[in-house]
Amino acid sequence: MRAVVFEEYGKPAEVREVADPRPPAGGVVVRVEATGLCRSDWHGWMGHDPDIVLPHVPGHELAGVVEAVGAGVANWRVGDRVTAPFVCACGSCAECAAGDHQVCRRQTQPGFTHWGSFAEYVALDHADVNLVAVPGELSYATAAGLGCRFATAFRAVVARGRVAAGEWVAVYGCGGVGLSAVMIAAAAGARVVAVDTAPAALELARTFGAAHCVDAAAVGDTAEAVRELTGGGAHLSLDALGSAATAAASVGGLRRRGRHVQVGLLPAAALGGGAALPMERVIGWELEILGSHGMAAHAYPPMMELVRAGVLRPDLLVTATIPLAGAPGALAAMGSAPGGGVTIILPGSGAGL
């Protein structure tokens, strides 16, 4: 099969021929029809993820067709249209028994713990636990973005953030996760303030329901700007980018007893030790600091119903599609120009090596 491979961190990846994957016991091989280009893939390429072993094939947001089924799989057949969360849970540990598949202690992640979906085929573990059926009316390009960015944002806003109608919600970073969070919070009846440095990303945020947009490059203190726009601070704030500055601003822009959800990755290797949060304010104002890590496959139905009903439109987040041959350059460019919207890679588009 053709796949995007890198052999050194931060060095150019290339499309090459590699061996086809085989389905693991309990798992499947999926023919990848579409796969999202995510900032987490860039972090992995830069060497920020300790699970990656070189050489490596990135990619963890995917949708496609079951190509082969491993021993012991009960619920899936060759030809099924599927997607999966980026956290593939084991289904049997204590966390999974409690329904918390997104923090499974034995989780695997395509594109991190093993070769991923920037390829024509990808292997996925524990299919009966992790696969999600893709309805016929949902395109593969739209479904690909659900497994990481959209589902992650949905759980971060709804389950972890406990959004309520009429609340102020601040979203820092209007890439794929951030724009998803804007759309989901606005659909829930919240008033959203979107923060980014890119005018195009802020314009998309406004299109998806943001009441106010803050250009972080034009204001001195984004947290102060959010407090002023919201009359005292956001009830709920999300760092959807993942940087020391955006994490601290997200906490700083909250009102008393507000809730901060960290969604964007904050790898210590990229930040020189981590983010410094204003913990004195966290204590004095009784703020909540929450992490959010994807969403289990069994939690998809409410989100999928809102998508089917047209209340949520993840299809509108897809702003570009590229062939597999364009993936190495697009991956490298994410470090300097993450941009807004979602770029989808189409491995079967017919582009050559």
**What span, in angstroms and rounded, lies between the C-alpha atoms of 83 and 295?**
13
Residue 92 has pLDDT above 60, yes or no: yes
Q: Give the DSSP letter of residue 103.
A: G
Q: Is 191 helix (H, G, I), strand (E, B) or coil?
A: strand
DSSP characters over 44-73: HHHT--TT--SSB----EEEEEEEEE-TT-
**What span, in angstroms and rounded, lies between the C-alpha atoms of 229 and 191?**
11
Predicted local confidence at residue 352, as pLDDT: 37
**What span, in angstroms and rounded, lies between the C-alpha atoms of 51 and 309?**
38
What is the CA angle 343-349-350, rounded to 5?
140
Predicted local confidence at residue 275, as pLDDT: 65
Question: CA nearest 88: which of 66, 65, 114?
Answer: 114
Question: What average pLDDT does range 15-40 have in this prediction?
Answer: 96
Question: What average pLDDT does range 285-293 have in this prediction?
Answer: 97
Predicted local confidence at residue 272, as pLDDT: 55
At residue 353 the predicted structure's pLDDT band, cuts being 50, 70 and 90, is: very low
**What span, in angstroms and rounded, lies between the C-alpha atoms of 278 and 263?**
18
Q: How far is C-alpha 285 from the chain's CA centre?
A: 30
Predicted local confidence at residue 276, as pLDDT: 81
Residue 267 has pLDDT above 80, yes or no: no
Structure tokens at 351: 């582009």
Beta strands in 113-190 (DSSP E): 121-124, 132-133, 168-172
DSSP characters over 260-284: EEE-S---HHHHTS-----HHHHHH
Q: In what order do the strands lie in the sheet with 234-239?
A: 212-215, 191-196, 168-172, 234-239, 254-262, 288-291
CB 162 within 8 A of CB 110: no
Q: How many CA atoms lie within 13 A of 324 on its CB side?
A: 27
Q: How far is C-alpha 352 from the chain's CA centre?
A: 28
Helix segments in 253-346, DSSP class H:
268-271, 279-284, 300-308, 327-333
Domains and CATH numbers, the chain: 2-149+295-346 (3.90.180.10), 162-291 (3.40.50.720)
Predicted local confidence at residue 266, as pLDDT: 81
Residue 108 has pLDDT above 50, yes or no: yes
pLDDT > 70 fraction of the chain, expressed in percent and rounded: 95
Residue 171 has pLDDT above 50, yes or no: yes
Predicted local confidence at residue 12, as pLDDT: 96
Question: What average pLDDT does range 30-46 have in this prediction?
Answer: 94
Please give the mean pLDDT across all residues of the chain: 94
**What span, in angstroms and rounded, lies between the C-alpha atoms of 226 and 214?**
8
At residue 220 the predicted structure's pLDDT band, cuts being 50, 70 and 90, is: confident
Tell me the per-residue pLDDT of 109-158, one tens digit each, with 9 for 90 and over: 999 999 999 999 999 999 999 999 999 999 999 999 898 899 999 999 99
Tell me the per-residue pLDDT of 174-216, one tens digit each, with 9 for 90 and over: 999 999 999 999 999 999 999 999 999 999 999 999 999 999 9
What is the CA angle 305-303-23, rounded to 5?
105
Taking the CA atoms of 195, 290, 314 and 30 in sequence, report the sign of the dihedral they define.
positive
> How many residues are there in the chain?
353
Query: Exposed, middle or buried: residue 75 (CB in 10 Å: 0-12, 13-18, 19+)?
Result: exposed
Tell me the per-residue pLDDT of 230-251, one tens digit each, with 9 for 90 and over: 999 999 999 999 989 999 999 9
